[in-house]
Structure 1
Amino acid sequence: MLKICVWLLYCTAVITLVQSTSDSTNNSSISQPDSTTSNTDNTNITSPSVQGVSTKPSYATIATTSPIEQSNDTNGPIQLLPMVINTWKFPEANALAWRILRQSEGGLRQTRNAVVEGCTKCEQMQCDGTVGYGGSPDELGETTLDAMVMDGASMDMGAVAGLIGIKDAIRVARYVLERTTHSLLVGQAATNFAVAMGFRTDSLVTPESRAMWQQWKAENCQPNFWQRVNPDPKISCGPYAPKATPLSRWKEDRARSEYKIGNQHHDTIGMVAIDANNQIHTGTSTNGARNKIPGRVGDSPIPGAGSYADNEVGAAVATGDGDIMMRFLPTFTAVEAMRSGKTPKEAADEAVNRIIKHYKDFAGAVIAVNRLGQYAAACYGMPEFPFVISSPAEALAVKTVKCMPAITDIDILTLKKTL
């Protein structure tokens, strides 16, 4: 009997010891997931035993930098919008447009105001004598103005050409856009429209522009834009009459430039403004080619030539020999190139290359900007081309791009076989 009692006591002790060991093991297995879960809630807390990585693949948390370090790191996309960009070194025009663009958050609803008032600034300053009143007199000594505004959302545009007696050319173009269903008004009729809209008439001729014209006349009207007429336009003023000659080849059938395009002789301000919602407007303004035949209109007020805008893709502006550029619609070409997937640089290059394929003595430039604010410029016929850009990433920066090297015709000589 005693042996039975001792046996029962032994068994009870063994069972108690086993249960105690089991409970300890269960408690330990429960506490470990709590610690791991805590690590997943805060990625900055890591397990030192695994050097920053959890041992369980479902958590796989890698140690990260602190929030302060992340905010100072430039690992995100650079903010490019809103932005304004314009041809040539006209920083005052860009500064005003940028100031207007920043009047609202992200430049919203300000892109039209920006390009109109930015270009107006150049008109008032008579930028390099090629924008606004008092510059580029025609053969009669008169100054006339061309301008355009284009809306990339609606694809609407308003333009004036050969505007007489009104200094605010691009503001009148805006009225054509907003107050009519037309696209382009010209000459005295455009002036009449401007007067009806409340614009004041004024002479666009200044003592300086009158002196330019008188000197040109004194130098036998050289250079000019006539060809195949009598008397010889290379040595004499008009009036001219047609000269009967056989049609010449295209290389001999090109108008001569009134001056050499370059840093001292600009011809147009072209401007693009884009807000944070990718709304785009473009604007242009010019007083045209110096010594032009009265009635001549260049590329600036022609959509797709002087400028083009499409919110779905981007925009482009052009400057240079307008009589040639308008034959190729370079800004439309650039925008469509970007639509097909090309970068702004590739698009600008394509627009210029298409021209110089036919006109190797051409001079001009194209700026292409996609809807995200990425931009590039291409030029030909001058050493370099300056332009101005303002954005959150670049506040009023003057940029310069080297132009494509000149293309010259190569004469191929046929070698004769000798015996």
Structure 2
Amino acid sequence: MKRRHFLKASGLTGAALSAGPSVFAFTDFSKTKISGKPNPICVATWNFHKASKKAGEMLYEGASALDSVEQGVRVEEGNIKNTTVGNGGAPDRDGNVTLDASIMAPSGECGSVVYLKNIAHPVSVARKVMEETPHVMLAGEGALQFAIQQGFKKQNLLTEESEKAWKEWLKKKEYKPIINIENHDTIGMLCIDEAGDIAGACTTSGLAYKMNGRVGDSPIIGAGLYLDNEIGGAVATGMGEAVMKSVGSFLIVELMRQGKSPQQACEIAIKRIIEKNSNYKDFQVAFLALNKEGEVGSFCIHKGFTYVKYQNKENTNTPSEYYI
């Protein structure tokens, strides 16, 4: 089906996207609060099964959703084989490894850090920003100074492997995101604990060989991560610029507030990006959502994105539905 015909048939063009009926509409939009509690559950972008297992096991041992998401994503931040998150992340064009992260609590409190150097676990610094300062976001040298004051230790995050790849890239200096190749893939995680509370975290080293100073969607509350403890939450991965321009995670939570399922909400968010970006075939964006009933939804532009879920002490990896 041609794109214009698909969008027309889906009611996703122009004002219809925001105001008119669509194939995704529910008949009952009165449901603004979710009742009942699912078994503890953890979902995370991509097949980061060790991270979800860590968080999931904590949940089943009675840990809070907030503690679980922090410790879960820290697994990948500390994984030097993962060149998209934390220690070992691919550098920018000037050879700097700069990290972005955010975390959000059931209370709605949140914290984030951007352009953070030399600290392996930015998500934990983000939590300290949330809990120990009156601010939401700290950046660059200020974020590093705060981290050191909080007891975090500086270290070189540019591994031999990442440095070698960067020097090879310098020979041609060609830049083009590779769809579904993990040169820009974030770990975003959502957890619901035994109390029925939801928390989320998102952490990344950003686009490989990005411009010095570039910040993506991951540390931006409402873009890479958003949640409401009465409704559910959403996280994003892929081309951060497209996610930021759509405020995608916030949009998904608001659609769930209106009565949409997590799946429906993710599909609408992706199709909005498609409508607003004529070059959408050139990049990947994926959303993952979880509502307070424990229902999971995911949608992406290109085939290839997967998400991992830990529930009932089982870890499963599921291919996402997709547009292309």
Give the share of equivalent positions with the same residue, in percent: 37
CA deviation string 1:84-116 (max 9, x = no partner): 100000100000001111122xx5xx1111100
TM-score using structure 1 length: 0.66
The question of 1:122 aligning with 2:42 is answered: no
The question of 1:386 aligning with 2:306 is answered: yes
2:293 and 2:115 map into 1 onto residues whose CA distance is: 35
2:140 and 2:196 map into 1 onto residues whose CA distance is: 34
Aligned position for 2:42? 84
Which structure 2 residue ranges, 5 or more long, are not aligned?
1-35
2:206 and 2:181 map into 1 onto residues whose CA distance is: 16
Query: Is this contact kept in 1: 2:286–2:299, CA < 8 A?
Result: yes
Distance apart, 1:263 and its partner CA: 5.0
1:203 and 1:269 map into 2 onto residues whose CA distance is: 21
Query: Is this contact kept in 2: 1:261–1:364, CA < 8 A?
Result: no
2:257 and 2:37 map into 1 onto residues whose CA distance is: 22
Query: Is this contact kept in 2: 1:133–1:145, CA < 8 A?
Result: no
| Structure 1 letter corresponding to 2:67 | N
Range with greater deviation from structure 2 (194-203 or 395-404) = 395-404
The question of 1:99 aligning with 2:57 is answered: yes
Aligned runs of 1:210-359 on 2, under 5 Å? Answer: 210-219=163-172, 221-223=173-175, 258-359=176-277
Q: Relative to 1, partners in 2 of residues 1:346 and 1:161: Cα closer, same or farther, differing over 3 Å?
A: same
CA deviation string 1:267-286 (max 9, x = no partner): 10000011233211100110
Query: Is this contact kept in 1: 2:184–2:207, CA < 8 A?
Result: no
Select which of 255, 271, 293 maps to 1:372.
293
2:66 and 2:111 map into 1 onto residues whose CA distance is: 12
The question of 1:134 aligning with 2:85 is answered: no
Aligned position for 1:402? 321
Distance apart, 1:210 and its partner CA: 1.3
Please give the secondary structure, in 1, of the residue aligned with 2:174.
coil
| Structure 2 letter corresponding to 1:401 | S
Please give the secondary structure, in 2, of the residue aligned with 1:396.
strand
Please give the secondary structure, in 1, of the residue aligned with 2:113.
strand
Corresponding pairs, count: 286
| Structure 1 letter corresponding to 2:294 | G
1:349 and 1:278 map into 2 onto residues whose CA distance is: 25
Q: Which has the higher contact order (CA 8 A, sep 6+)?
A: 2
Distance apart, 1:265 and its partner CA: 4.1
CA deviation string 1:373-402 (max 9, x = no partner): 11110010x22321110112x711111123
Query: Is this contact kept in 1: 2:183–2:208, CA < 8 A?
Result: no
Larger radius of gyration: 1
Aligned runs of 1:191-210 on 2, under 5 Å? Answer: 191-210=144-163
1:265 and 1:183 map into 2 onto residues whose CA distance is: 27
Select which of 120, 125, 150 maps to 1:172.
125
2:321 and 2:205 map into 1 onto residues whose CA distance is: 26
Distance apart, 1:331 and its partner CA: 0.5
| Structure 2 letter corresponding to 1:84 | C
Aligned position for 2:98? 144
Query: Is this contact kept in 1: 2:100–2:215, CA < 8 A?
Result: yes
| Structure 2 letter corresponding to 1:402 | E
Query: Is this contact kept in 1: 2:38–2:292, CA < 8 A?
Result: no
Distance apart, 1:127 and its partner CA: 5.6
Query: Is this contact kept in 1: 2:306–2:318, CA < 8 A?
Result: yes
Please give the secondary structure, in 2, of the residue aligned with 1:210.
helix
Aligned position for 1:236? none
| Structure 2 letter corresponding to 1:295 | G
Distance apart, 1:264 and its partner CA: 4.5
CA deviation string 1:187-213 (max 9, x = no partner): 111000000000000111111121122
2:295 and 2:321 map into 1 onto residues whose CA distance is: 18
Please give the secondary structure, in 2, of the residue aligned with 1:128.
coil
Query: Is this contact kept in 2: 1:128–1:265, CA < 8 A?
Result: no
1:135 and 1:263 map into 2 onto residues whose CA distance is: 14
| Structure 2 letter corresponding to 1:387 | Y
Aligned runs of 1:10-159 on 2, under 5 Å? Answer: 80-104=38-62, 107=63, 110-126=64-80, 128-152=82-106, 154-159=107-112
1:79 and 1:279 map into 2 onto residues whose CA distance is: 9
Distance apart, 1:358 and its partner CA: 1.4
Q: Relative to 1, partners in 2 of residues 1:260 and 1:207: Cα closer, same or farther, differing over 3 Å?
A: same
Distance apart, 1:266 and its partner CA: 4.8
Distance apart, 1:216 and its partner CA: 1.4
Which structure 1 residue ranges, 5 or more long, are not aligned?
1-77, 224-257, 406-419
Please give the secondary structure, in 2, of the residue aligned with 1:327.
helix
Distance apart, 1:261 and its partner CA: 2.7
TM-score using structure 2 length: 0.85
Distance apart, 1:80 and its partner CA: 3.5
Aligned position for 1:237? none
